[in-house]
């Protein structure tokens, strides 16, 4: 009986892991395209915001301020949200839908993440501004960007302003 060369065995195990990983990746990213609807259709998701603007007031460069916006689906189809990003690496957004919490988003989008808000439900969008990451002083305006499948509000912008001293 001959033994299998450990090098060959290692290559076989590596290839199996790569193939399985590829299949898992393909499966988990296969349906990441939001469903589309007509703007005239009564049977569609509808994104409604509690607010789209917040004044954080005066703050020091060393401070961090966080606040919540609420995004409600008043339509009768799932509201899908994705491509969340911010205007600066000093600004962050995180989405909470039910008991699920998204990754923390910044200036660089995470195209693999998508959330769904069922009809009549809402998501909490937590926005944070951390001026020490990109120190500036004076009046500052930062934004959080959210893409939706609501044909009347495909792009949502949440604006934060502050006076940094």
Write the CATH number for 152: 2.60.40.10
Task: Say if strands 155-164 and 53-59 run parallel, antiparallel, or are unpaired.
Answer: parallel
In a domain, 36, yes or no: no
| pLDDT for res 23 | 67
In a domain, 13, yes or no: no
- The two tokens of residue 14 are 């590596």
| pLDDT for res 46 | 97
Element (H, E) at 164: strand 155-164
Q: Lowest-confidence range among 20-24, 50-54, 91-95, 148-152?
A: 20-24
| pLDDT for res 29 | 46
3-state SS class at 128 = strand
| pLDDT for res 11 | 81
CA torsion 63-113-26-153 (nearest 10°) is: -150
Residue 124 neighbours by CB under 8 Å, 6+ apart: 68, 69, 70, 95, 96
| pLDDT for res 30 | 46
3-state SS class at 105 = strand
In a domain, 82, yes or no: yes
Query: Is residue 54 very low, low, confident or very high in pLDDT (cuts 50, 70, 90)?
Result: very high
In a domain, 73, yes or no: yes
Summarize the confidence of residues 24-32 as an average pLDDT. 54
In a domain, 1, yes or no: no
| pLDDT for res 22 | 66
- Longest CA pairwise span in the chain (Å): 78
| pLDDT for res 98 | 97
In a domain, 103, yes or no: yes
Summarize the confidence of residues 17-21 as an average pLDDT. 74
| pLDDT for res 14 | 75
- The two tokens of residue 101 are 């919490």
Summarize the confidence of residues 9-23 as an average pLDDT. 75
CA atoms within a 13 Å half-sphere pointing along the CA-CB vector of 155: 6
User: pLDDT tens digit string along 102-146?
Assistant: 999 999 867 789 999 999 999 999 999 999 999 999 999 999 999
What is the domain extent for residue 80? 47-164
| pLDDT for res 131 | 97
- The two tokens of residue 104 are 């923390």
Beta-strand ranges (E) seen in 8-154 are: 47-49, 53-59, 65-73, 79-86, 91-97, 100-101, 114-117, 122-129, 138-148
In a domain, 108, yes or no: yes
Counting the structural domains of the chain, the total is 1
In a domain, 28, yes or no: no
Indicate the pTM of the whole model: 0.78
| pLDDT for res 152 | 96
The average confidence (pLDDT) of the chain is 90
């Amino acid at each position: 009986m001959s033994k299998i060369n450990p090098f060959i065995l290692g290559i076989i195990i590596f290839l199996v892991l790569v193939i399985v990983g590829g299949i898992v990746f393909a499966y988990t990213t296969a349906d990441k395209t939001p469903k589309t609807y007509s703007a005239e259709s009564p049977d569609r998701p509808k994104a409604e915001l509690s607010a789209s603007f917040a004044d954080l007031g005066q703050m020091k460069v060393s401070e961090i301020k966080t606040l919540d916006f609420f995004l409600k689906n008043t339509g009768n189809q799932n509201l899908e949200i994705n491509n969340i990003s911010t205007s600066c690496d000093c600004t962050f957004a995180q989405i909470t839908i039910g008991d699920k919490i998204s990754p923390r988003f910044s200036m660089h989008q995470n195209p693999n993440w998508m959330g769904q808000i069922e009809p009549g439900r809402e998501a909490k969008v937590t926005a944070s501004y951390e001026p020490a990451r990109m120190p500036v002083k004076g009046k500052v305006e930062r934004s959080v960007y959210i893409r939706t499948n609501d044909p009347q509000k495909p792009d949502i912008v949440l604006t934060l302003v502050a006076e940094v001293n």
